[in-house]
Amino acid sequence: MQGLEMLQETPSQTAGPYVHIGCIPTFAGVNGVYPQDLGLSPIEDGAKGEIITITGQVIDGTGWALRDAMMESWQADAAGIYPGQPGADPAVTGFCRFAADNESGEYTLRTVKPGITQARSGAPQAPHIAVWIVARGINIGLNTRIYFEDEDNSADPLLKRIEQRPRVQTLIAKRTAPGQYSFNFVLQGENETVFLDI
């Protein structure tokens, strides 16, 4: 039989407790190597749309908030156009790195609220931010999404695929004030976040 001539992906390994040194060294107190950390903000001055702030924690199976998690986010601009695509807002880089606070475990993501994007099938995807979580004890990065409770999520192709309907709520940020949302990532246990294999 012939071979398929396909390679296999390199196995993942945990990012470990010191991921900040490699990805956000200034946050980790390693100063002077780079001018600034990569992905400090997903937007620049003048980004079109509603500026929002999402805060929350990454919670383990015992209910404890991780102090060492690092997250990355990727999103479209307010018109639903991803950076690099024709017509994208030049003030939106779409990519952010943010970490749990060393003391409180709280994270903050300040960005522009993304617009509706289009799935391959042509179906509209409700506004969402893709998030990737890495930390000590996470052997392969966890993918998930943040949706918004004040948007119409009813036709979103990903949310529709969640069989146990109460679990949909684990992907939806709660609006706590104008422009303010809260969203916890629950790694395990009750209200465990829906994690994705995409």
Partner 1 sequence: MRNAPTDLGSLIPRNRAIHPVPYDPDYKTSVPRSPRWPLLSLDSSVTEETGPTFGHNMLGPYDNNLIANFSQGERLAIGERIRVHGRVLDETARPVANTLIEVWQANAGGRYRHVRDSYFAPLDPNFGGCGRTMTDEDGYYEFMTIRPGAYPWPNRANDWRPMHIHFSVFGSGFGHRLITQMYFQGDPLIDLCPIAATVKTRSQLDRLVAPLDMARSKPMDYLAYKFDIVLRGRRQTMFENKMEGM
Q: Which of residues 82-101 bind partner 1 (CB under 8 A)?
A: 82-87, 93-95
Report the residue from 43, 135, 146, 172 that binds partner 1 according to the rule CB under 8 A.
Answer: 135
Residue 62 binds which one of partner 1, Fe ion, none, with CB within 5 to 8 A depending on kind?
partner 1
Nearer to partner 1, 56 or 94 (CB): 94
Show the binding pattern over residues 9-28: x = contacts Fe ion (CB under 5 A), - = does not.
-------x------------
Q: Please say whether the beta carbons of 142 and 198 come within 8 A.
A: no
Provide CB contacts within 8 A for 178, sequence distance 6+: none
Q: Amino acid identity, residue 195?
A: F
Q: How far apart are CA 142 and CA 73, in angstroms?
A: 12
Q: Please say whether the beta carbons of 129 and 74 come within 8 A.
A: yes
Residues 58-77 that bind partner 1 (CB under 8 A): 60-62, 64, 66, 68, 72, 74, 76
Provide CB contacts within 8 A for 83, sequence distance 6+: 77, 89, 92, 93, 94, 95
Nearer to Fe ion, 15 or 47 (CB): 15
Nearer to partner 1, 122 or 178 (CB): 122
CA 28 from centre of chain: 20
Residues 6-35 that bind partner 1 (CB under 8 A): 6-23, 25, 28-30, 32-35
Count the residues of the shown chain that bind partner 1, applying the rule CB under 8 A: 88
Residue 97 binds which one of Fe ion, partner 1, none, with CB within 5 to 8 A depending on kind?
none
**Residue 130: enclosing H or E segment and its boundaries?**
strand 129-134
